Amino acid sequence: MSNSIGRLFVVTTWGESHGKCLGAVIDGCPANLHLTPEDIERELARDIPDIELGTKRHEPNKFEILSGWQKNRTLGTPICLIIHNTDYKSIDYKQFQNLIRPGHADYTYVEKYGHSNLIKGGGRASGRECIARLAAGAVAKKVLSCFDISIESKVVEMAGIPISSKEDYQKAKEKALLEAKDGESTGGIVELRVKNLSTGAGSPIFGKLDAVLASGLMSIGGVKGVEVGAGFSAAKMKGSVCNDEFYLDQGKIRCRTNNAGGLLSGISTGEDLVIALAVKPTPAIPRQQKTVNIKEMKETTIECIGRFDINFTPRVAPIAEAMAAIILVDELICSGYIHPSKISTLTKI
């Protein structure tokens, strides 16, 4: 259970980090969507890690569309996407045998599933799992593009350095690399922006669009916080500042500011959706840390020597876009904006 997301546009992911392949099944994609292999390739390519910041595990992310698709058009039937794992070295993980890595899922998974041996490489609780989200997100983005809805993301903080320019990013990267020399990893903040979403999308109460997005984004490994619009700084604002006043812009109701982040009571205002995510530092670090050998139930230490990102904030960005795309397509179908079975009869929102 829980490897699926969505109500009418349902994405199910499967596959372990170090198995043969991972994949996603997308159920409820309207028929007749123009979809090319390049649409998916382009998104998967965004997961190729930064040569300096990223893991040394590099995969070409070769994929196949196994169903639901013919001659660059979707059929309305479930789309199964498969991504092959090619750069898998199980040997990396021998060193951790029976050791639970601090900050990792090793301990909680063994408690939940009772595996006698820890799954090598984290199994599903690995960043690699997200490749299937990227693939499904590519399809969702293609649906959104029919309505001129676009999703952008950027790293706005890394290794403690705020980023608003290329120079800032370079500075932050150098900081991250410097820490890495010391065997340290670092984190950061990603900002997500959805443009051109019409007014009225989202559901009330438990289905508020911010609630659903918060859930989807918090489900990305390493994300420890989500905020919408002004977020935590709203807690420090006065009402007259926080409220976004309304005005008329060529007959359309608009907001002068966007502290709400495009959502009032969980329903879209027509302004950009703006959401930020906090990403924690990579837990696997080549420094000695205290831990427990769960077989012998003895205290010991661990050093994670392997191919791990020294900062995976930049890799979270496209995955956050994918999650937002998946959730928005589902919401727009459920809200009656996107026709559930055929793209041809879609009316622009």
Closest CA to 322 of 229, 199, 189, 219: 219
CB of 38 to a copy of itself, least distance (A): 20
Residue 281 gets which letter from DSSP? P
User: Interaction with a copy of itself in 100-129: which residues (CB under 8 A)?
Assistant: 100, 102-105, 107-109, 111-115, 119, 123-125, 129
User: Interaction with a copy of itself in 165-194: which residues (CB under 8 A)?
Assistant: 179, 183-189
CB of 272 to a copy of itself, least distance (A): 15
Q: Please pick, from the candidates 38, 200, 295, 305, the single residue that binds a copy of itself as defined by CB under 8 A.
A: 200
Q: Please pick, from the candidates 202, 272, 322, 324, the single residue that binds a copy of itself as defined by CB under 8 A.
A: 202
**Minimum CB distance to a copy of itself smaller for 42 or for 182:** 182
Q: Please pick, from the candidates 140, 151, 260, 325, the single residue that binds a copy of itself as defined by CB under 8 A.
A: 260
**Minimum CB distance to a copy of itself smaller for 151 or for 274:** 274
Among the listed ranges 43-51, 134-142, 144-152, 335-343, the one in contact with a copy of itself (CB under 8 A) is: 335-343
Write down the residue that tokens 């060193």 correspond to. 95
Q: By CB under 8 A, is residue 135 in contact with a copy of itself?
A: no
Among the listed ranges 6-14, 49-57, 89-97, 163-171, the one in contact with a copy of itself (CB under 8 A) is: 6-14
Give the integer Cα–Cα distance in Å for 315 and 317. Answer: 5
Write down the residue that tokens 């809805």 correspond to. 149
Q: By CB under 8 A, is residue 143 in contact with a copy of itself?
A: no
Q: By CB under 8 A, is residue 60 in contact with a copy of itself?
A: no
Q: By CB under 8 A, is residue 28 in contact with a copy of itself?
A: yes
Q: Please pick, from the candidates 45, 48, 178, 237, the single residue that binds a copy of itself as defined by CB under 8 A.
A: 237
Give the integer Cα–Cα distance in Å for 132 and 153. Answer: 19
**Minimum CB distance to a copy of itself smaller for 42 or for 256:** 256
Give the integer Cα–Cα distance in Å for 229 and 130. Answer: 25
User: Interaction with a copy of itself in 79-98: which residues (CB under 8 A)?
Assistant: 79-80, 82
Q: By CB under 8 A, is residue 339 in contact with a copy of itself?
A: yes
Contact between residue 194 and residue 151 where contact means Cβ atoms under 8 Å apart: yes
Give the integer Cα–Cα distance in Å for 278 and 291. Answer: 25
Please tell me the number of Cα atoms within 13 Å of 317 on its side-chain side: 25
**Minimum CB distance to a copy of itself smaller for 114 or for 166:** 114
Amino acid residing at 174: E
User: Interaction with a copy of itself in 297-316: which residues (CB under 8 A)?
Assistant: 297-299, 313
Q: By CB under 8 A, is residue 268 in contact with a copy of itself?
A: yes
The tokens of 217 are what?
A: 């984004």
User: How many CB atoms are closer than 10 A to CB 266?
Assistant: 19
Q: Please pick, from the candidates 39, 41, 50, 78, the single residue that binds a copy of itself as defined by CB under 8 A.
A: 78
CB of 294 to a copy of itself, least distance (A): 7
Strand 267-268 to 263-264 pairing: antiparallel
The tokens of 56 are what?
A: 């040394």
Residue 114 buriedness (CB in 10 A; 0-12 / 13-18 / 19+): exposed
Amino acid residing at 280: K
Q: By CB under 8 A, is residue 131 in contact with a copy of itself?
A: no
The tokens of 289 are what?
A: 């840390």
Phi-psi region of 115 (alpha: psi -120 to 50; beta: other; left: phi over 0): beta
